[in-house]
Each structure stands twice: as structure tokens, then as C-alpha cells.
Structure 1
Amino acid sequence: MEFDFDVGRVLVPFALEGDAGEGTPQVARLDDSALNGGKGALLRELLGVLGEGSRRAQGLSKPVTTAGPLMSNRIYLLYMGRYALGLLKVGTKRLFVSRGEKEGLVDISPTCVLDFYVVEGHQRGGLGRRLFDTMLRCEHTSPERLAYDRPSPKLIGFLRRHYGLAPYQPQANHFVVFDAYWAKAGVDPARSRSSAPGQRARELAAKLPPAPVPYVAGRQEDPRVQVIPPWASAPSLRQSRTGSRGPFQRAGQSTLSSPMSLVAAMAQGNL
């Protein structure tokens, strides 16, 4: 897409160093500070034309990229001399997405691809891959860690062909988060907006105290569990709170608290 001004000269302050040599396509990075500078008017014209080209190519009702404020988004422009060859718009968004049909929504805030366009006549020549890889390096991310806003069939094919991304769970918000995202996401379950069926019940059950263990004669009990045998509550073997002696208690002797104590006392002649 040719302009009546030297795109390269306008974008020199925003070019990524070491990205390309002389006479080859280069990439520049734009944000709101660039649009507010002295060359802001030319940059806004450039973005408006490319955004309209992207809209037509994708069959959208209105362009995603406009000459207006970028609102903390970033745009990567591919250019050479008087020609603008493509754009890639990214930004961080807070999304509620599902990991599967039986799972609840998870709150994530990934970098999102909002608009991706290579000018007609320059596609399938490696320019799109060059633009995309430059963005990945600058954003310090990888293709599977991105979310894609209403990607076109061409973009889906591009990601499958170059980065091996294919399976994904359709979302109500029309963003695409590939299944590979979750392999490295490390999402905190506490940030989940809802839980899978039955998960809440399991969480509550885990907080309940353990059920009492019934007494079984002759069984070796867990020393951490205090078990009260049936005879402990027998009135004839329980020490009176008032200090009175029970029927098996002689003066100077303590209350016999179990049948075993009673048998031992009889063997010693104490009863």
C-alpha cells in the first residue's frame, strides 16, 4: 500500500533496532505517545488507511484499527520506503473464558491479538510471519499464550501452519484461547469465577471434622482418636461427682472404671 510520503522516514523514530537491514521490510512499534508527537497526523492517516484495508479484507462492518487513540494498545507496522505492508494490533484484556464444556469460567488477562493484516499482493511471502515474530519478541510472549479476538479463517490457518495451534474451546465472547494456553498458564484456581459441578461440594466436605469412629470390642484404635467404651458411662462404674462411693468402692479405694479393673481386684482379694 503506497503513500504519498516516505513511510520509512516517518517511522524511523519508532523502528525496532536490529530488525532488518537497508532495503528490506522493517517493523515499527506505535503507542499513544507516538500519535501525540509531531508526526502524529501522518501516523493517524497511515493507521486509518491500513485499518480500512483490514476491515475490507475480513468483511467487518467497521474497522478494528482507526485513526483514534490506541487506549494502551500497541500497533506493529511493517513497512519499506513509501510502502506500508501490514499491521498487527495487540493489547491486554481481561477475559472470562471456559477451559471446557464441564468447567466454569476462568479469569485471565492475556495479551490479545486484536487486528492482523498484510496488504493484498504481499501475502504468503513470509511478511506476516516476520511481523508476528517481531511482535512476539517485543511482547516477551509466545503464540499459545495469546488470545485472539474474532480471528478470521486466514488467521486460524496461519497459526496452525506456522505455530501448530489448532484445538480450542469456543467462547461466548468470541475470543479464541487455544488449548495449548492452559498447558503453561498456571491459572490460580482461586480466580475462577465459578467451579466445575461438584467441586464446591467437595471443598465444603473437606472442611468438616472427621466422623466419630464407632467402638468395636477388640479392635486396636488409632491413638489419635479418643474412643469412649460403652461401660464408661455405666452409673455403677462412674465416680460420683459428690464424692460418694459406688457399690464396688471401699474406703480408701478409687472407683473401678472398667470390667478389667474389677477382675484384677477380685484376683488380688480386694473384693
Structure 2
Amino acid sequence: MSGLTPRGCEIHTERMALGLRSAIGSDVGRRRTANEDSGAAGDRLLVVADGMGGHAHGELASTLTVAAMLELDERLPQDLTQVDLLGELASAVDEASERLAEHARKEPDTQGMGTTVVALVFDGARLALAHVGDSRIYLCRGGELRQLTRDHTMVQQLVDEGQITPEEALVHPRRSVLMRALSTEHPVEADLEFLEPQPGDRYLLCSDGVTAVLPDKAIEDLMAAPTGPEVVVEQLITLANQGGGPDNITCIVADVVDAGEAQAQGVRVVGAASELA
């Protein structure tokens, strides 16, 4: 009878209800005069966008993209269990791309602007992930850091093809050249996947103002420390600036907790999106 369920008995396996506790921050850095990054963090949406294009166009691109993601969050129902979250995220990325193209049609001087985007949407049990560009999402679980996204860059492609090593990629003169980004030119396909969070997990979403300066080991040490998300965000920004702050710095740190430990934090918007709203 081993492995059989007695007649009349039912076995229910339910996932533990989980919540997020997050912090977000953005800084212009040491060498830039304006912040082209945008970010937003809510109770179920986390998003970072790193704009490019100069002359305030990068600021506009990241702002339009974060706005599209916030509108996605607003229109989604409270109960997400029956929602095609990956489909909804893909639609939001398409909408952001169309907004960039439409703005460029109306304002030709903004032609060529673009932005990266990384986003997570939480349904209480799973995280839906969307990624375009070289902004990143990391997971710290059990004190070990793992990069969940793969950069859409020329050097990453060279690494994948075995033409250069990961170490050579770190100092390659074209390491910032993107192969995929939201732009005014054409729609782009986002990488999409579901993540299975566990209590105690810690996620990091960040622009390359963090990762171009700080090695993974330094990020891991901060993420694994027994400090709150607010402290980790502050430390990441401080260390990136101490390392020269060559670019805008935006990051979100989110802890996965039991639903009973999570508290409503509301939506917090940083960077260009907060300044141009």
C-alpha cells in the first residue's frame, strides 16, 4: 500500500502565500550631469529602465517605459492567479516600444532614443520576469548570488560564441554596445520567464551603473548581509560612486517574505520618471 492514498482521503498541496519587502534608489553618479535611469517599485511590480540617447532623450525613453509598466500594474486585477502574466508583460514591453516610436514620429529630434528594461511582477507565488538590454536581475539565495538575466550586448554574444572570455568581456572597449533594446526603430522581443521564489530569497534589479563598477563578489557580499533592503540599496549606490560613478546608478532590492510579514509600501518612483512626471 506504500505510496497509495487511502480511499476517502484527499491531499491538498498549497503554495505558501508570499510577499515582497523592497527598497529602491537612484543616483546620477559622479560623471553624468543628468539621470537617464528610471525605476519603480510597488507591492507586486519592480522595474528598472536605463535610458540612452543624450540631450534628455534617454530620460524620456526610460520614463515612457516605466510609465507603461506602471499602467500594466494598474490595470491588472488584484487576483493574478488566472492572468497570463508573461503575455501581459510582453504586451507592456510592446506598448512601451510603440510609445517611443510614436513620440519620435511627433518629435523627430528624439529619433534614436532607447532604453533597457528589467521587470518583475509578483502574483503571490511566482515572479514573472521581462528583460531587454544590459540591466540585470540577480537572485541571492542561501548567501550565493546568481545572475538571472543574460546581457543583450555584443560582448556577451562574443562570450557565448567562445571568441572572448568573460574576463576579457569586462574590459572590452565595446562592452556597452547593445544588441537589443527598446528603441524608436522597431519592436523588440523581451526575454520572458517565470521564477519560483522562496522565503528568504533576495532579488536585485539594477542598471549597469552598478554592474559595470562592482564585481559580482562585492554585490554578493552586500546582498548576503543580514541588513534590510534599504541599507543594501544605499550601500550599492555608495560603492558604485566610490568606484568612480561613471554612469547613472539605479537599483531595487526585494526580499521574499511570508505574506503576513509583508506590508503595503505603495509605488515609489525614482530617477528620470520622478523628475519628468
| TM-score normalized by the length of structure 2 | 0.21
Q: Which has the larger radius of gyration?
A: 1
Q: Name the TM-score, length of structure 1 as normaliser.
A: 0.22
Higher strand share: 2
